[in-house]
Amino acid sequence: MAQLKCPICGGQVSVEDDALPGELVEHECGAQLEVFKKNETLSLRLAEEVGEDWGE
Amino acid sequence: MSQWLPPRRESLLQRLNSLLRDLVSLYTPSGEERKAKEIFSRLSKETGMPLFETETGSFILGGGKVLLASHLDTVPGFIEVRGGDGWLEGRGAVDAKGPLTAMIVAGAMAWAEGKKVTVAALADEENKSAGARELIRSGAKFDHVIIGEPTGTSGIAIEYRGLIHLDIRCQSRAEHSSSSKSNLIAEMCERILKIYSAPDSYLGPTITPTIFRAGEYINVSPSSAYTHLDIRYGRGMDEGEIIKKVKETFTSCEVEVKDHVPPVAVSPNEPAVKAIMRGLLVNNIKPRLIRKTGTSDMNILAQLTRSIVTYGPGDSTMEHTESEKITLEELYIAASTYKYAVDVLCRS
């Protein structure tokens, strides 16, 4: 597991070593984060807000 | 069975097209799911997956701790089946025979590789979810559940609102309409307008009157009136408070809860959500997390496991409309995504 920094609260976030860029994770602080690659290393940024689908 | 080992793209597209056409050509509104028995018997023979038909008319293929569950019934109203270059239209093509088709094909491919997977074509989802409730009652256990409903092929639904169905009956004294001092219809309308809440926010509650009946004769003020409220509410809302507010508005009336399904919300960290997410990413599709305003079998099947998610091909704005159209490309992406997810979840 890779230990990354939550960009919102600064806490540690455990992300699987084989996580794919674009993968979304939820930190215990409640932030929803997106995995991305920066200089070939995994990093986290705030994900888009959960969308609303007004279908069934 | 070996014919179901992951085939080339063209033959997979052909298989998806052919199965979806068979399913959509068969008109199966809630209560008429058993008409599909022949199709499922044939699928069972072709794939080697054991078939079990339930009392409610659900069809269960295979067996294992990973469940792919969609529904076989549709809303009423047959739509003539039409197909063109890479697309198919018909009742249920989107909701939910498209997702169901992709699940059956993905499940059959996984089964051919020795993966233990269950594919459920549930009955009655468009009515009272009798198929999903029956599955819970049967005591079946699953570690991971993927629900097949249209989410626009790239959307992953992790939250659904809850619902409450209420029947309200009010009584009054019948009088001659030319001299009556009160009128039950007018009083009921006033109360309905007071409680009505349009669907303009996710948490809601959305309170929608869906049925209203009153009156006995043209020159008699009515002695009884009936209305039905369809209430949807998000996670964190107190259903007891919602019902209390309705009862306070309709004092001296009988308020009966006909159905209640709590909301459901799961974390994106759950294995089933993650597996679908990765399945999309390996197909070069950026996943979107969504929360749906309606209610589905996910609300009920969440009793089985927290590792549950809803995903499927098809544009959800076409659900229940006269134009349910889906592309084979969407089905292909969904089948590949389901297959990837089953592979991952069977290893966990």
Residue B192's identity, in one-letter code, is I
Question: What is the arithmetic mean of pLDDT over B207-220?
Answer: 96
What is the total count of domains within chain A?
1
Q: Which residue in the list B33, B125, B315, B330 is annotated as catalytic?
A: B125
Evaluate whether the domain defined by B162-261 bears CATH number 3.40.30.10. no
Residue A21 sits in a domain whose CATH number is: 2.20.28
pLDDT at A45 over 80: yes
Whether residue B95 contacts residue B314, with contact meaning beta carbons closer than 8 Å, is answered with yes
Q: Is B290 helix (H, G, I), strand (E, B) or coil?
A: strand
B246 Cβ contact partners less than 8 Å away, ≥ 6 residues apart: B166, B168, B195, B207, B229, B231, B255
Dump pLDDT digits (tens) for B78-102: 999 999 999 999 999 999 999 999 9
C-alpha span between B220 and B341 (Å, rounded): 63
CA distance B222 to chain A (A): 36
Dump pLDDT digits (tens) for A24-43: 999 999 999 999 998 889 99
Structural domain span for residue A18? 2-46
Write out chain B residues lying below 8 Å of A26, CB-based. 267-269
**What is the CA B120 to chain-centroid distance, rounded?**
13
- B73 a catalytic residue: yes
Nearest residue in chain B measured CA to CA from A19: B278
Residue contact B268–A24, C-beta within 8 A? yes
Chain A to chain B, count of Cβ pairs less than 8 Å apart?
Answer: 68
Write out chain B residues lying below 8 Å of A21, CB-based. 281
Question: What is the arithmetic mean of pLDDT over B6-17?
Answer: 90
Kindly list the domain boundaries of chain B, sorted by start residue: 9-160+263-347, 162-261
At B348, the pLDDT band (50, 70, 90 cuts) reads confident
Write out chain A residues lying below 8 Å of B282, CB-based. 20
CA distance A49 to chain B (A): 8
Write out chain B residues lying below 8 Å of A54, CB-based. 199, 292-293
Select the residue of B151, B281, B293 nearest A22 (Cβ to Cβ).
Answer: B281
Q: In chain B, what percentage of residues exceed pLDDT 70?
A: 99
Select the residue of A20, A52, A56 nearest B149 (Cβ to Cβ).
Answer: A56
Dump pLDDT digits (tens) for B23-81: 999 999 999 999 999 999 999 999 999 999 999 999 999 999 999 999 999 999 999 99
B302 Cβ contact partners less than 8 Å away, ≥ 6 residues apart: B264, B266, B308
pLDDT at B163 over 70: yes
Q: DSSP character for B153?
A: T
Interface contact A51, partner B, CB < 8 A = yes
Question: Which pLDDT score, from 0 to 100, does residue B2 have?
Answer: 63
H/E element holding B311?
Answer: strand B308-311
**What is the CA A31 to chain-centroid distance, rounded?**
8
Evaluate whether the domain defined by B9-160+263-347 bears CATH number 3.40.50.970. no
Dump pLDDT digits (tens) for B124-148: 999 989 999 999 999 999 999 999 9
* B160 vs B8, more confident: B160
Question: Which pLDDT score, from 0 to 100, does residue B1 have?
Answer: 59
C-alpha span between B67 and B89 (Å, rounded): 27
pLDDT at B170 over 70: yes
- B46 a catalytic residue: no
Question: What average pLDDT is seen over chain B?
Answer: 96
Beta strands B66-71 and B144-148 are parallel
Question: What is the arithmetic mean of pLDDT over A9-16?
Answer: 95
pLDDT at B7 over 80: no
Please indicate, yes or no, if residue A19 is contained in any of the structural domains.
Answer: yes
Mutate to test the interface with A, among B270, B277, B317 (most CBs of A within 10 A): B277
C-alpha span between B66 and B343 (Å, rounded): 10
CA distance A52 to chain B (A): 5
Instruction: Provide ipTM, 2 decimals.
Output: 0.93
Would you state the structure tokens that stand for residue B288, as one six-digit string? Answer: 């979107």
Write out chain A residues lying below 8 Å of B208, CB-based. none
Interface contact A17, partner B, CB < 8 A = no
Q: Where are the beta strands (DSSP E) in chain A?
A: 2-5, 12-15, 24-26, 32-38, 41-46, 51-53
Question: What is the arithmetic mean of pLDDT over B206-231?
Answer: 97
Interface contact A42, partner B, CB < 8 A = no
